[in-house]
Amino acid sequence: MKVTLDRVGNLRGYYPGETAGAPTFVLGSHLDTVPNAGAFDGVLGVAIGISLVQLLGGRRLPYALEIVGFSEEEGIRFGIPFIGSLGWLGELPARVLEAKDKAGISVRETIQRFRHGVDGEAPNEPSRRAGFLEFHIEQGPVLDTLGLPVAPVTAIAGQTRASVTFRGSANHAGTTPMHLRKDAAAAIAEWILAVEGIARSVEGLVATVGALEVLPGASNVIAGECRATLDVRHADDSVRNMAAQKLLERAEKIAGARRLTVEHWTRMNQRAVPMDACLLSTVEKAFLAVGLEPHRTVSGAGHDAMIIAEHMPAAMVFVRSPGGISHHPAETVLVEDIEMALRVGLTFLDQLIVEELR
Q: Is the preceding omega at residue 274 within 30 degrees of 0, hence cis?
A: no
Question: For the chain, how many structural domains are there in total?
Answer: 2
Q: Is the domain of 57 the same as that of 83? A: yes
Buried b (16+ CB within 10 A) or exposed e, 316-346: bbbbbbbeebbeeeebbbeeebbebbbbbbb
Kind and range of the H or E element at 153? strand 150-156
Q: Is the domain of 305 the same as that of 213? A: no
Q: Is the domain of 242 the same as that of 127? A: no
DSSP letter, residue 350: H
Q: Is the domain of 31 the same as that of 147? A: yes
- Torsional class of 42: left (φ above 0), alpha (ψ -120 to 50), beta (otherwise): left
| CATH number of the domain within which 219 lies | 3.30.70.360
pLDDT digits (tens, 9 = 90+) for 270-306: 899 999 999 999 999 999 999 999 999 999 999 999 9
Q: Which of 50, 260, 295 is nearest to 153 (CA)?
A: 295
Q: Is the domain of 279 the same as that of 316? A: yes
Final residue of a domain: which of 219, 251, 270? Answer: 270
pLDDT digits (tens, 9 = 90+) for 49-83: 999 999 999 999 999 999 999 999 999 999 888 99
Q: Is the domain of 152 the same as that of 174? A: no
pLDDT value for 127: 52
pLDDT value for 79: 87
Final residue of a domain: which of 252, 270, 288? Answer: 270
Q: Is the domain of 147 the same as that of 124? A: yes
Q: Is the domain of 225 the same as that of 284? A: no
* Amino acid identity, position 137: I
pLDDT value for 112: 86
Q: Is the domain of 131 the same as that of 224? A: no
pLDDT value for 113: 85
Q: Is the domain of 108 the same as that of 149? A: yes
Q: Is the domain of 100 the same as that of 172? A: no
Final residue of a domain: which of 270, 305, 326? Answer: 270
- How far apart, in whole angstroms, are the C-alpha atoms of residue 108 and residue 78? 11
190 contact partners, CB below 8 Å, separation of at least 6: 254
Q: Which of 156, 161, 181 is nearest to 171 (CA)?
A: 181
pTM for this entry: 0.85
C-beta separation of 7 from 114 below 8 A:
yes
Count of Cβ atoms closer than 10 Å to residue 163 Cβ: 14
How far does CA 215 lie from the centroid of its chain? 32
- How far apart, in whole angstroms, are the C-alpha atoms of residue 328 and residue 344? 27
- Cα-Cα-Cα-Cα torsion 98, 101, 102, 105, nearest 10 degrees, comes to -70
Distances (CA, A) of 25 to 17, 153, 186, 355: 10, 18, 54, 11
| CATH number of the domain within which 99 lies | 3.40.630.10
Q: Is the domain of 57 the same as that of 195? A: no
Distances (CA, A) of 90 to 25, 72, 147, 201, 323: 17, 14, 40, 42, 38
- Cα-Cα-Cα-Cα torsion 252, 258, 260, 266, nearest 10 degrees, comes to -20
- How far apart, in whole angstroms, are the C-alpha atoms of residue 202 and residue 57? 48
What residues of the chain score a pLDDT lower than 50?
A: 117-124, 126
Residues spanned by the domain of 315: 2-156+272-356
